[in-house]
Amino acid sequence: MITGDATAKATEIEPELQDLAGRIRAWAGEIGFQQIAIADIDLGEAETRLLEWLDRGFHGDMDYLERHGTLRSRPAALVPGTIRVITARLNYFPPGARDAESVLGAPELAYVSRYALGRDYHKVLRNRMQRLAERIRADAAPLERRLGAVFHTRVFTDSAPVMEVELAVKAGLGWRGKHTLLLNREAGSWFFLGEIYTDLPLPVDGPTVEHCGICRRCIDVCPTQAIVAPYLLDARRCISYLTIEHKGSIPEALRPLLGNRIYGCDDCQLVCPWNKFAQTADLDDFRVRNGLDGARLADLFAWSEIDFLVRLEGSAIRRIGYERWLRNIAVALGNAPTTPDAVNALRLRCDHPSALVREHVAWALKRHEERER
């Protein structure tokens, strides 16, 4: 951390810091990132919006968002000494994946959010961010000696209270779309974000301009109308929240709206005009595993817990656990056409040990019975 005289000396090495920032961008490209930029840590306006959002209860039962308080909007409180955040993006749209719209249009199939079709992004992204951080620290050694300081870095990949999108906006990686995701003119939104918190006084990049204009396709297409206003999401209605973050019973009124989406939802991204510029991932880690880009609901519902754990080893889906996996598929089977396959699959789970699973299976079977009357 630089303090006192070292801070004054830092202004004398601005050209070296500029050069270092350029090298960081080059290294990031070598490691596989599509873009990298640097932000300062002033998130005052974002903090106000966050607190208002929490006050409205839009976070649902994601209690950790409240527990973390302002750590999320104050990087130096999370990691003392932080003055810069290096933020990076990595494309994830899986190459060769079955057309998303065709899966959504086939109610007997399971729709899984495109980001979760391959290996768990936390592991893939963190490994690359860590490699970049280590290279930065090694290269900064001469500057440390000149300043009489020791620089630090800490990597985050959606694993701590970090305002990823806000930091990326400040750094100029894109702008916040009306669906609240980051948008980039050259890459749309099919990418992950990662951060390196540091006390290196690197030169910062500036924000870009917004390009959503009057478009509201993401708002209009949302199956549950979770985007209650431009740039404002009620997570309690969001299918990604309901199928991933929410641990309890899915509200009955929302179940029919989930369709065949069993893990996450991409509708707001699929209709976004900027995603016509998106590129597929060039990492094998993000290639489709287990045929999850269009598997039959009845087949997935038949998986045992051992099947679930073994087949989804290294997948982000494994984080929700087997019980919620069955809960989600039961809802999708209830929304599927009434066929012997769908009904028989549900009946085999009528006596499941989990009350949560039994509740959603009973609801699904009732839907089929009502259709047959």
Residue 367 forms part of a structural domain: yes
Domain boundary among 164, 198, 232: 198
- Identify the CA nearest to 231 among candidates 157, 184, 175: 175
**Separation between Cα atoms, residue 84 and residue 358, nearest integer Å:** 49
Over the stretch 269-279, which tens digit does the pLDDT of each residue have? 999 999 999 99
Residue 252: strand, helix, or coil: coil
Helix H, strand E, coil C: the string for 12-39 is HHHHHHHHHHHHHHHHHHHHCCCEEEEE
Per DSSP, 166 falls in state H
Domain boundary among 136, 171, 198: 198
Residue 302 forms part of a structural domain: yes
Residue 238 forms part of a structural domain: no
Domain of 366?
A: 296-373
56 and 190 share one domain: yes
Residue 265 forms part of a structural domain: no
Element (H, E) at 194: strand 191-198
Domain boundary among 198, 222, 242: 198
Beta-carbon contacts of 369 under 8 Å, excluding residues fewer than 6 positions away, are none
Residue 35 forms part of a structural domain: yes
Residue 33 forms part of a structural domain: yes
Strand partners, 39: 85
Beta-carbon contacts of 355 under 8 Å, excluding residues fewer than 6 positions away, are none
66 and 188 share one domain: yes
Over the stretch 129-183, which tens digit does the pLDDT of each residue have? 999 999 999 999 998 888 888 999 999 999 899 999 999 999 999 999 999 999 9
Instruction: Specify whether the backbone of 146 is left (phi greater than 0), alpha (psi in -120 to 50) or beta.
Output: alpha
CA 331 to chain centre: 23
Q: Is the Cβ–Cβ distance between 12 and 147 less than 8 Å? A: no
Element (H, E) at 154: strand 153-156
Residue 276 forms part of a structural domain: no
Tokens representing residue 116 in the block: 């979760």
139, 158, 205, 341: which one is catalytic? Answer: 158
Length of the chain: 373
**Number of domains forming the structure of the chain:** 2
What CATH number should be reported for the domain holding residue 362? 1.25.10
Q: Which residues of 207-221 are buried (b: 16+ CB within 10 A; e: fewer)?
A: ebeeebeebebbbeb
183 and 306 share one domain: no
**Separation between Cα atoms, residue 331 and residue 54, nearest integer Å:** 28
pLDDT of residue 93: 97
pLDDT of residue 149: 87
Provide DSSP, 103-123.
Answer: HHT-TTBPEE-GGGSSS-HHH
**Separation between Cα atoms, residue 293 and residue 246, nearest integer Å:** 23
Kindly report the pTM of this predicted structure: 0.95
Q: Is the Cβ–Cβ distance between 26 and 149 less than 8 Å? A: no
Q: Is the Cβ–Cβ distance between 331 and 364 less than 8 Å? A: yes
> Is 307 annotated as catalytic?
no
pLDDT (tens place) for every residue of the chain, 373 residues total: 555 455 566 677 889 999 999 999 999 999 999 999 999 999 999 999 999 999 999 999 999 999 998 999 999 999 999 999 999 999 999 999 999 999 999 999 999 999 999 999 999 999 999 999 999 999 999 988 888 889 999 999 998 999 999 999 999 999 999 999 999 999 999 999 999 999 999 999 999 999 999 999 999 999 999 999 999 999 999 999 999 999 999 999 999 999 999 999 999 999 999 999 999 999 999 999 999 999 999 999 999 999 999 999 999 999 999 999 999 999 999 999 999 999 999 999 999 999 999 999 999 999 999 998 7
Beta-carbon contacts of 144 under 8 Å, excluding residues fewer than 6 positions away, are 150, 151
Strands 261-263 and 111-112: parallel
Residue 303: strand, helix, or coil: coil
